[in-house]
């Protein structure tokens, strides 16, 4: 969510209706590509297509975001590339290879140098059938309610005085963007609006405080 500056509902199924319609991010929307000569996790780049954004879930005008590894051992737990690799290897979701070396070497041998998903139709975020045990149903998409309760619980454990909501994660990412130097974002509000997928720059200025 933070890595691609999207809303929680842009990649999770909002409800049963959206789940049945397939309005959620799938593994096929995430293309992992090996870049560079060395077959290492640090050289994996993800191209993530956001197909079901707010108000344009039936549109074909999709945004695609490029995400690279942080390449920093201190940021391992928040590195989306490493999370995707761990998720794929742990649950046997890669088409070729059972170990990281095998998966990377298979990608290097391909013309497009991609890591192929075995089940591309599976959701990016699977549902938990028993949250206390952490049991995942890989073929079933997680819904908004699961994320809401999880983040709310995280806030409670962390000692937040106010309730931590799903949109607070996006709000934090937006505030980081508006504080980037102008030479990176070009025009502060306009650059941030493009990154967040806002059609109206006035929505973006809400975060620029």
Task: Give the burial string for 78-105 (b: 16+ CB within 10 Å, else e).
Answer: ebbbbebbebbbeeebbeebeebeebbe
Retrieve residue 39's tokens: 């077959």
User: Whole-angstrom Cα distance, residue 110 to residue 34?
Assistant: 10
Tens of pLDDT, residue by residue over 15-36, are 888 888 898 999 999 999 999 8
Tens of pLDDT, residue by residue over 125-157, are 898 876 556 688 999 998 878 877 777 887 888
User: Can you give the pTM of this predicted structure?
Assistant: 0.74
The closest of 46, 52, 64, 42 to 22, measured between CA atoms, is 52
Extents of the domains making up the chain? 8-124
pLDDT confidence bin for 1, thresholds 50/70/90 = low
Within 10 angstroms of residue 124's Cβ, the number of other Cβ atoms is 18
pLDDT confidence bin for 108, thresholds 50/70/90 = very high
- Return the SS3 of 86: helix
pLDDT confidence bin for 90, thresholds 50/70/90 = very high
């Amino acid at each position: 969510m933070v890595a691609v500056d999207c809303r929680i509902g842009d990649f999770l199924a909002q409800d049963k209706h959206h789940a049945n319609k397939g309005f959620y991010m799938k593994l096929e929307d995430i293309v992992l590509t090996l870049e560079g000569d060395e077959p290492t996790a640090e050289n994996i780049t993800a191209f993530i297509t956001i197909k079901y954004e707010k108000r344009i879930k039936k549109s074909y005008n999709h945004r695609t975001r490029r995400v690279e590894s942080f390449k920093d051992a201190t940021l391992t737990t928040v590195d989306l590339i490493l999370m995707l690799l761990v998720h794929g290897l742990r649950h046997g979701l890669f088409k070729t290879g059972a170990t990281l070396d095998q998966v990377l070497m298979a990608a290097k041998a391909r013309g497009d140098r991609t890591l192929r998903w075995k089940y591309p139709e599976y959701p990016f975020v699977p549902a938990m059938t028993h949250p206390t045990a952490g049991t995942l149903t890989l073929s079933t998409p997680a819904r908004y309610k699961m994320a809401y309760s999880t983040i709310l619980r995280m806030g409670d454990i962390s000692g937040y005085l106010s309730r931590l909501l799903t949109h607070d994660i996006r709000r934090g990412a937006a505030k980081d963007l508006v504080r980037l130097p102008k030479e990176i974002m070009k025009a502060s509000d306009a650059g941030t609006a493009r990154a967040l997928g806002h059609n109206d720059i006035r929505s973006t200025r809400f975060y620029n405080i």
